[in-house]
Amino acid sequence: MTSPVLDRRGSHARRQNLRVARLVSRWKLRGPGGLLADDGFAGYWAWRAARGLIRILLFRIYRLRATGYESLRASGPLIYAPVHRSHLDGPLIGGLTHRRVRYLGKEELFRPKPLGWFMRSIGTFPVRRGEADLDAMRGALGLLNDGEAMLVFPEGTRQPSDDIGPVFDGTAWLAAKSGAPVLPVGIAGTREAMPSGAKFPKRTQVAIVVGEPLVPPAGPDGGRARRPDMTAWTATLREALEDCQQRARALADEPGRARTPMRDLVP
């Protein structure tokens, strides 16, 4: 029979090891050469300036209609899971919350050094598409463990229509590992405003619908989620995205509907 004293010592050692692991993870993420190495004073003001510009573009130029957006401002670790139709999708989500939203961006965007610095400064870090980028996923998990908000596109890349594309298990993995709830988001109009290949956006009607938060995947009796659990949860996320996207399209196409007041949209 194990001594209670040894049990306590073992528990203390495990807690200490967990603290050390988190410190190492944080250093790899934010230290020199880390994914968010430029996330300092200059980065903070770059983010503030970018958010201000985004709000001018999206809320002054576009007649934005939105429902459920209050959920985007919840505190604690949170995963935003929007559909992906345009480069405007991520900034749109970031402009609707006071939180500094973190993004995964394709590696190609970081190759010009000035743009790479700016992308990292506003909280974006690179991910290699078409493969399991463990460094990027660990970085995202580290941010969620620090209580931050993370934006992940479940479809992975921009889709050519309102139909939901293949939804990958990366969102399920992050939610299961971090315990963060997931907000499905439908966005209509951004594909027309800035389609793939366009250099500048054009004016059109944009609508966003934020669904109910999804509880992270778990195994039987609330235990650790296994591969079948994550696959089933991903199917649930896909259904939620389909519902949100259909509602967003209907909201965008509704004739005579007034835009959501700016005072309600900007926290």
Q: Which two tokens stand for residue 55?
A: 């709000």
Cα separation, 41 vs 59, whole angstroms: 27
Terminal-to-terminal C-alpha distance of the chain: 57
Sheet strands (E) in the chain:
65-67, 78-82, 102-106, 124-127, 149-151, 182-188, 207-210
Q: What is the pLDDT of residue 207?
A: 94
Domain ranges within the chain, ordered by starting residue: 34-265
| Domain 34-265 homologous superfamily, CATH | Glycerol-3-phosphate (1)-acyltransferase (3.40.1130.10)
Cα separation, 212 vs 221, whole angstroms: 23
Mean pLDDT of the chain: 82
For residue 49, report the phi and psi dihedrals to the nearest 5 degrees: -65, -45
Q: What is the pLDDT of residue 235?
A: 96
Write down the pTM of the prediction: 0.81
Partners of 78 in beta bridges: 149
Q: By the 8 A CB rule, do 101 and 94 touch?
A: yes
Number of Cβ atoms within 10 Å of the Cβ of 41: 7
Q: What is the pLDDT of residue 177?
A: 92
Helix (H, G, I), strand (E, B) or coil at 259: coil
The DSSP secondary structure of 178-208, one letter per residue, reads: H---EEEEEEESHHHHS-TT-SS------EE
Q: Point out the residues of the chain with pLDDT beneath 50.
A: 27, 32-33, 37
Cα separation, 131 vs 134, whole angstroms: 9
Q: What is the pLDDT of residue 264?
A: 82
pLDDT tens digit string along 207-245?
999 999 999 998 877 778 888 999 999 999 999 999 999
